[in-house]
């Protein structure tokens, strides 16, 4: 029976995951290497829950209870008594490997581990966790409180009780699970991120401007967001990391990351979370950076 859940990484996704799980009645311990990020995360969660109260989607008293269930902790050792840990740190295999290697010996033997990775092999990450049968992918979508889907991905060794326990949590918090096989970037990002990469090539080759490309896809393909604003929303570092996993994992040049995407990431212009990506977000309204 899962009651207490640890979340590693308090960025955009860790914050959203903490939000929906706390609202679903789970006790949350949230940790991040950056203390400032943990404080920011609590503010973001409070603000987002407040908006849900304003829209009548959450009662004020439920919000207070949910916030009371979220605690920030200094590091992995404080997750020792949790029943499940969800890893939601940066999309970097070395970072995830070091977290998972450290977690294995800390947790109770029966505790489960899930990763929110967007693209990295679940089987490979499971192998360093020390408990591959109790490990799987639980891929939430951004923004977590709004998006209904959670992709579930088994590693080669994931056992049935682990899958069932994670599947039950997804249903309990009112989300809809789909299953994906363990291949690079799973289903959603296998399709979505190459489209974003192609939009960056379209910009790179001068076929359209930032605003031209985004309005073409909003109005011409009926997408809610243009691909470049969506890239800024996801995080350009995350988009690039996913393209690299696709490129290396599938060994096909059609997944070659656009050099302009690489340049933006190298500049630290990684999208909304840093204040600048294909648009500059520091003013009243977003302004294209090219
Ligand atoms: P983010 O950059 O907003 O947050 C990552 C957080 O991880 C940062 O706060 C960072 O300080 C923290 N971190 C880094 N190393 C750490 C460590 N060793 N221990 C603890 N914390 C550490 O990124 P994000 O958008 O929240 O993405 C997190 C994960 O979720 C990635 O695997 C990403 O692929 C996945 N994901 C992202 C999206 C999206 O749209 N952004 C959607 C689904 C899944």
Q: What pLDDT, on the 0 to 100 scale, is given for residue 12?
A: 97
CA distance 238 to 3: 30
Q: How confident is the model at residue 121 (pLDDT cuts 50, 70, 90)?
A: very high
| Coil/strand/helix, residue 131 | coil
- pLDDT tens digits, 64-86: 999 999 999 999 999 999 999 99
Same domain, 40 and 125: yes
Residues 14 and 152 in one domain: yes
Q: Domain of 62?
A: 4-180
User: What mean pLDDT comes out for the span 225-242?
Assistant: 98
Q: Is 48 a known active-site residue?
A: no
Catalytic residue (choose from 15, 41, 91, 151) = 151
The pLDDT value recorded for residue 149 is 98
76/216 same-domain check = no
pLDDT, position 71: 98
% the chain with pLDDT above 70:
100
Of the candidates 129, 139, 180, 197, the residue annotated as catalytic is 139
What pLDDT shows up at residue 25? Answer: 98
pLDDT band at 111 (very low <50, low <70, confident <90, very high): very high
Q: Is there a contact between 70 and 48 (Cβ–Cβ < 8 Å)?
A: no
* Same domain, yes or no: 42 and 71: yes
Query: Is there a single domain that holds both residue 169 and residue 254?
Result: no
Band (61; pLDDT cuts 50, 70, 90):
very high
Given this model, what pLDDT does residue 7 score? Answer: 98
Residue 202 and residue 228 share a domain: yes
pLDDT by residue (tens digit) across 130-186? 999 999 999 999 999 999 999 999 999 999 999 999 999 999 999 999 999 999 999
Residue-wise pLDDT for 6-19, tens only, equals 999 999 999 999 99
CATH of the domain at 272: 1.10.1040.50
Active-site residue, from 41, 180, 189, 197: 189
Q: Note whether 138 and 150 are within 8 A (CB).
A: yes
194 and 98, same domain (yes or no): no
Q: Which residues line ligand 1 (CB under 6 A)?
A: 8-14, 32-34, 37, 88-91, 95, 99, 116-118, 139-142, 234-235, 238, 273
Clarify whether residues 167 and 38 are in a common domain.
Answer: yes
Q: Which atom of ligand 1 is nearest to the CA of 90?
A: 5
> For tokens 């029966």, what's the residue?
110
Q: Residue 84 in contact with residue 17, Cβ under 8 Å?
A: no
What pTM was estimated for this model as a whole?
Answer: 0.96
- CATH code for the domain of 112: 3.40.50.720
Provide the CB-side half-sphere exposure for 175 (13 A, CA). Answer: 28
pLDDT number for residue 123: 98
56 and 159 part of one domain: yes
pLDDT digit string, tens, across residues 174-223: 999 999 999 999 999 999 999 999 999 999 999 999 999 999 999 999 99
Q: Is 116 a catalytic residue?
A: no
pLDDT of residue 139: 98
Same domain, 12 and 138: yes
Q: Are residues 195 and 132 in the same domain?
A: no
Compute the distance between CA of residue 196 and CA of residue 186 in angstroms, rounded to an integer: 16
pLDDT of res. 62? 97
Pick the residue whose CA is nearest to atom 15 on ligand 1: 89
Number of domains in the chain: 2
> In 3D, which of 177, 280, 176, 195 has the Cα closest to residue 242?
195
Average pLDDT for residues 228-255, to the nearest whole number?
A: 98
Of the residues 180, 209, 233, which one is the last residue of a structural domain?
Answer: 180
Quickly state the pLDDT bin for 49 (edges 50, 70, 90). Answer: very high
Which of 128, 163, 180 terminates a domain? The answer is 180
- Write down the mean pLDDT value for the chain: 98
Residue pair 119/131 in contact (Cβ under 8 Å)? The answer is no
Among the candidates 140, 155, 180, a domain finishes at: 180
Shared domain for 162 and 48, answered yes or no, is yes
């Amino acid at each position: 029976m899962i009651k207490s859940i640890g979340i590693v990484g308090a960025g955009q996704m860790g914050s959203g995951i903490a939000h929906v799980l706390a609202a679903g009645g789970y006790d949350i311990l949230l940790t991040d290497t950056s203390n400032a990020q943990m404080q920011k995360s609590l503010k973001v969660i409070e603000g987002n829950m407040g908006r849900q109260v304003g829209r009548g989607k959450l009662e004020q008293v439920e919000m207070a209870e949910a916030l009371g269930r979220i605690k920030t902790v200094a590091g992995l050792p404080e997750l020792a008594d949790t029943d499940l840990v969800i890893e939601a740190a940066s999309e970097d295999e070395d970072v995830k490997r070091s977290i998972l290697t450290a977690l294995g010996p800390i947790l109770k033997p029966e505790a489960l581990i899930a990763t929110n990775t967007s693209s990295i092999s679940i089987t490979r990450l499971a192998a360093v966790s020390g408990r591959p049968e109790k490990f799987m992918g639980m891929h939430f979508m951004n923004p977590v409180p709004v998006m209904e889907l959670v992709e579930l991905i088994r590693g080669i060794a994931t056992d049935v009780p682990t899958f069932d326990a994670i599947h039950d949590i997804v249903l309990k918090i009112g989300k809809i699970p789909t299953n994906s096989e363990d291949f690079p970037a799973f289903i959603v990002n296998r399709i979505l991120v190459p489209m974003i990469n192609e939009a960056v090539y379209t910009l790179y080759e001068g076929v359209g401007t930032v605003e031209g490309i985004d309005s073409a896809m909003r109005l011409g393909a009926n997408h809610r967001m243009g691909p470049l604003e969506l890239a800024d929303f996801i995080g350009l570092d995350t988009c690039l990391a996913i393209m690299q996993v696709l490129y290396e994992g599938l060994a096909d040049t059609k997944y070659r990351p656009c050099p302009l995407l690489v340049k933006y990431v190298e500049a630290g212009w990684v999208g909304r979370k840093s204040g600048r990506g294909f648009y500059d977000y520091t003013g009243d309204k977003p302004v294209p950076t090219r």
